[in-house]
Amino acid sequence: MAGSGKKKSSSQPDFATIGGLVLAVGGILAGFMMEGGKIQEIAQITAALIVLGGTIGAVMVTTPLSVLIRASKQFASVVFGKVHPLDETIEEIVEYAGLARKNGIVSLEQQATAIEDPFLSKALNLAVDGIEAHKIREIMELEITLFEQRAEAEAKVFEGAGGYAPTIGIIGAVLGLIQVMKNLANIDEVGRGIAVAFVATIYGVATANLVFLPVANKLKARAKETVHAKELMLQGVLSIAEGLNQKLIRVQLEAYSNGKKPAKAAKGKEQPAPQAAAAQG
């Protein structure tokens, strides 16, 4: 609400992620047990240590520390993600537009400072300071681009892990086979040892395809949602700066909530629809 100057974005469990993991792991284990397997046969601490330790180590070698720290913090957002309530954002911006038309855009200074979302707060503060619309667009679009680059780098950390894990699993299997070769005289021990050796391969393939690669894709999808919300905020602030009426601003922003972007005119300036322009006249 404009009165409080706060835009709430709540963290909620991502039931698609949780349900997907439960279904994938549960289905694999259920099928394994139906074939006569036992959980303890694949519950090998040494295999998990080789795969996870080797994969994390390889990722640390190839990734700058700052990116690695950011990516590790983003991991929790895969299960508990922030929801961007676009409809509430639209209502908030429309309310700011009404106050700006009534009392002037400078009257929004207090609300702009109190806004929780840093992107919307910065954009609205630039508008309050009298910065031209095209300059606001230039500044905030640069910020969106930098956000996209950071998000892409964080997702690539998990993509890299997904590439390394299967190979590390093969290394673990070979190490296990080396131990098997020491017991060739005992054929029973050889058979059991081979079975245990290949558990590392299972861990490598499973973590890559059930955890690392899906996490990378989920982070990319979340980044696109965030960029979409930022574009909506920017469009709203530019409309306020241009002095458009509340009805026209709502129509423009509702296009974003429907998954479409309003057409942009040349040089980044917004052109109102002919019907809306006639209504303003």
pLDDT digits (tens, 9 = 90+) for 13-25: 778 888 888 999 8
Rounded distance, CA 107 to CA 120, Å? 16
Rounded distance, CA 232 to CA 227, Å? 9
Name, in order, each residue with C-beta under 8 angstroms of 228's C-beta and a sequence gap of 6 or more: 84, 86, 256
Say which range, 94-98, 169-173, 200-204, 275-279, has the weakest mean pLDDT: 275-279
pLDDT at 9: 55
Rounded average pLDDT over 237-254: 90
Q: How many residues does the chain have?
A: 281
- Alpha helices (runs of H) in the chain, residue ranges in sequence order: 15-34, 39-42, 45-62, 65-79, 86-103, 109-114, 118-128, 133-181, 187-197, 199-207, 213-241, 246-257, 274-280
Name, in order, each residue with C-beta under 8 angstroms of 26's C-beta and a sequence gap of 6 or more: none
Rounded average pLDDT over 221-245: 92
pLDDT-based confidence at residue 237 (cuts at 50, 70, 90):
very high
Handedness of CA 185, 189, 193, 194 (dihedral sign): positive
* Other beta carbons less than 10 A from residue 91's beta carbon: 16
Rounded average pLDDT over 209-216: 95
pLDDT tens digits, 148-163: 999 999 999 999 999 9
